[in-house]
Every structure is written in structure tokens, then in C-alpha cells.
Amino acid sequence: MTHIRPLRTVESALRASDNGMRDADNAALHGVAVKTIRRWRRLYQRRGQPRGQQHTIAPCPRCEDAELDGAAYAELLGWYLGDGHISRQRRDVFGLHVVNDKRYVHDLDRIAVLMARVKPGGRPHGRSVPGAVIVTTSWKHWPCLFPQHGPGRKHQRPIVLEDWQRSLVETHPAAFLRGLFHSDGCRANNWTRKKIDGRWKRYDYPRWQFTNHSADIRELCCWALDLLDIPWRQSNRYVVSVSTRAGVARLDELIGLKS
Ligand SMILES: [Zn+2]
């Protein structure tokens, strides 16, 4: 009987092999026999699945009939609108890139997981730049999923969701807000002192703020907050704030802290 390894072990070994690791080292690293590494490579080649070509294989939920993970998509859309972009890489293949502060390691992992849920079989990878990590996954179909892709910066062109995107956000508004606030938002802790019965007492006023230069994207943020009955206000030109105690608590519960 064949010993079945977790797919992620197979994937990892094939990737190492692609990157030029010797079979013996690869086998030792993954705890399998050298002949197993060779067999995996043969199997994948015979099936016509040359490694690194999965962007041509994963079917598209828009122009083909693949299923779309709605919650993952709604959140990834938030990340994309907050701090993402799409670039043409080669031929018909596009890269979806999401930039995030390198301090938030759990969020970085989460972005990778979201990409892999939206593009099954996708293999996100990270690249370090000063202060941040760019998480990227390649696929032919990113423009199908993010039709907002276009020339120029997002705040210098209209950003309008298509009907199918609006209905996914209506189903998963918290996921969408999580993507927006975890990319372009922050949870600030303001405090003040008040004198009560002759004693100074400290009061904390946490609030969530979403900062984006695109009026369209700020409006989408407000729309999603409205869907959840969370009160907000425009606190300055580029900033939407949630600052009532109940609103902050609700948002904390729905989207969690950046981490
Ligand atoms: Zn497509």
C-alpha cells in the first residue's frame, strides 16, 4: 500500500526540487526516501502538471465555473482595495500583490491563506521590502476577480464594485471590513483625564480609523459599516472613524485586532 504524504509535503518538495535542491538533500529535508522524490517528480510530469504552471490550471470562478469562497473573497477584496495591486507579469499571467506591515505576521499569513482560498492550488509567496512584506500570487484570472484593476493609482480613478461583488460583500460585510481595516486602518488608543470628586481619573477612548485617499473606497467602507449598523463619521478629509464605545466593541469582535 502506498504511503500517502500530506499534499503540502509533496508541494514543498517539488518546489525545492524546482529551486535546484539535490534529491538527497530534498529527501532528508522532507523525511522521505530519495526514490520518493523522484517518483513525485515523474508523476507530476506525466500528468502534464509541470511545476510552477498552476496559474494556467486553476479554473476561474468568473469566466469558467469554478466555485468562489465568498468570505475569503470579500476579505481579500478589502485587502486589495486597501493596499493591493495587480501587475501583468508575463504573457497572460497577472500577479496579485498585497503589501502589509512586516510587524503583523499573522495578517501576512492570513493574506496568503485568503489568496490560496480564492485561487485553489495557488502558491502565495512573500517578498521583503523595507518595513513591509509583499505577498504575491500569480494567476491569469486576477483581473476577472478584481475588475477594478486598471492603469493609474486607485485614488485617481473611479472604484465601483460590480453587482456580483456588492452581493458578496452584502453577504460577508465583516470579512470585507476586516480586509479594509487591517490594511488601511488602525485602532488608536486616545485617552484623557477628568477630575471626579477631586481625583484625576484616566479615561481611554479606543477608536478605529480607516484612512484612504480614494473617496470611492471610503464610501465602500461606510457602506459596509452601515450594513452592520456600526456608527461612523468622517473625521477628516481622508479618515473614517468608528469611535462610539459600542461601535468599537462590535468592530473589535467582528474583525479582531491587527496582529
Ligand atoms: Zn477568468
Instruction: Print pLDDT tens along the chain (259 aa).
Output: 345 566 777 778 888 777 677 888 888 888 888 988 888 777 776 555 545 444 456 889 999 989 999 999 999 999 999 999 999 988 889 999 999 999 999 999 999 999 999 998 888 999 999 999 999 999 999 999 999 998 888 888 899 999 999 999 999 999 999 999 999 999 998 888 888 888 898 888 899 999 999 999 999 999 999 999 999 999 899 999 999 999 999 999 999 999 9
> What spacing in Å lies between the alpha carbon of 228 and ligand 1's midpoint?
31
Domain assignment of residue 233, yes or no: yes
Task: Please tell me the total count of domains within the chain.
Answer: 2
> What spacing in Å lies between the alpha carbon of 22 and ligand 1's midpoint?
37
pLDDT in the model for residue 1: 33
> What spacing in Å lies between the alpha carbon of 60 and ligand 1's midpoint?
5
pLDDT in the model for residue 6: 67
Domain assignment of residue 69, yes or no: no
For the chain, the distance separating the N- and C-terminal CA atoms, rounded to the nearest angstrom, is 44
> What spacing in Å lies between the alpha carbon of 156 and ligand 1's midpoint?
26
Q: 120 near 58, Cβ under 8 Å?
A: yes
Domain assignment of residue 78, yes or no: no
pLDDT in the model for residue 53: 45
Domain assignment of residue 237, yes or no: yes
Neighbours of 121 (CB within 10 A): 14
- At 9, list the grid cell: 509535503
Sign of the Cα pseudo-torsion (50, 52, 56, 58, in order): positive
Domain at 225, CATH number? 3.10.28.10
Domain assignment of residue 100, yes or no: no
Domain assignment of residue 240, yes or no: yes
28: CB partners within 8 A, 6+ apart: none
> What spacing in Å lies between the alpha carbon of 63 and ligand 1's midpoint?
4
Domain assignment of residue 79, yes or no: no
Domain assignment of residue 221, yes or no: yes
Q: Could you tell me the residue range of the domain that residue 234 belongs to?
A: 182-255
> What spacing in Å lies between the alpha carbon of 94 and ligand 1's midpoint?
11
Neighbours of 179 (CB within 10 A): 30
> What spacing in Å lies between the alpha carbon of 140 and ligand 1's midpoint?
7
